[in-house]
Structure 1
Amino acid sequence: MAIDAIEASSPPSQFPSNFSSSNQLRHFYVAVDRLQFKMETLIDLLGVAGRRTGLPIVVCCSSRDELDAVCSAVSNLPYISLSSLYSDQAEAERSSILEKFREATAKWNQQVTVQTGDGHEVGNDEQESCMIVVTDTCLPLVASGESPISARVLINYELPTKKETYTRRLTSCLAADGIVINMVVGGEVVTLKSLEESSGLNIAEMPINISEIL
């Protein structure tokens, strides 16, 4: 299921200032033929990305039901340290999860500055990647002064239908040089192309070997 690349047609001012150099961001999609294969595809994706030492990942969902389903499926993966943010969560627990994740992103940034000659990070191979699953209602409130969490990888498990929601996920969850992976099922290709056109983005098909973009 191919999507034509679209040249950026919107002025940079449509994006928040920390994403004005949008070429640093890399937007991809992975097409899933049927809804019942979507979770399996996510687990396969995490089977590669989640094994990267200390990799900070955010998975965004639109509903609590999907958040619970993702958490249930991912909880059995031993190489991922999993947390979730939901609406009736105690504030102290939420703050602790966000702080822990920010620490993970700081460690990741330090780690990638020390590389071996073949480009692989030097570090403890036993260290888990760090992942948060979150719904749109529980994203960090950047507009209210809450700090973003700056993940290396943002996975849109449920594709937002509005540009504003897509942009808010970017600004609250993703590092300025991060990677966005949009999971697209069937007819959602129309929604994805609409997001491209309205946001001036170029969303490419994800390489078969995800390690190429991490």
Structure 2
Amino acid sequence: MSKLHVFDMDGTILSGSACMELCRQLGRLDEVIEVEEAWGRGEVDHVGFYELLIEMWEPLTDLDVESAFEASQWLDGLPEVLADIRERGEYSALVTMSPQFFADLVVARWGVTTAHGATVRAREPVVAEAVLFPEDKPRIVDELLTRYGLSIEDCVGYGDSSSDVPLFQRLRHSVAVNANEKLRALAAAEYDGSDLREVYAIGRSLLDGSG
């Protein structure tokens, strides 16, 4: 029987956030930090968050996106983990509230099976239906499990923050990675550190029933 490994991106396999790295590339890091803090306080909703970012991203080019991706700090061992999943005939999914165009680079570079993010673009209006919400994560995972003919017992999720709460409430197997206290309380296991291979070993032990 195959398995499905579901990864959040920001704060889980990526230190920081994709939006922060994109704005850093444009020299607008301080501004995006203010926006993210306002979002964290509930002063800006998910759609409003992207509407503010789109204004900052007006000069963003494909080269800027690639440069931001290259400069990002990914957890150690990410390529090896995704390669091992493929070699076992299993599936990986990146489910993130960050932009789809950034998540797609993880597919292209390291071969995650599928990526799901917000379909927003620079210089284009933000469509509310294109923005992902935390509640979308378990829906997406259920759709993937149906597609692959798997059950919830065949799935493990890896996340770090409040956006992963609905998914962790749905999953039996979950690993909180450098996570906040709320997510740790929901997780089957937790990890603090910078090596995704160690995180993945915990996830495998949960799937194997030895964790």
Confirm or deny a common fold (TM above 0.5).
Answer: no
TM-score, normalized by length of structure 1? 0.37
More helix by share: 2
TM-score, normalized by length of structure 2? 0.37
More strand by share: 1
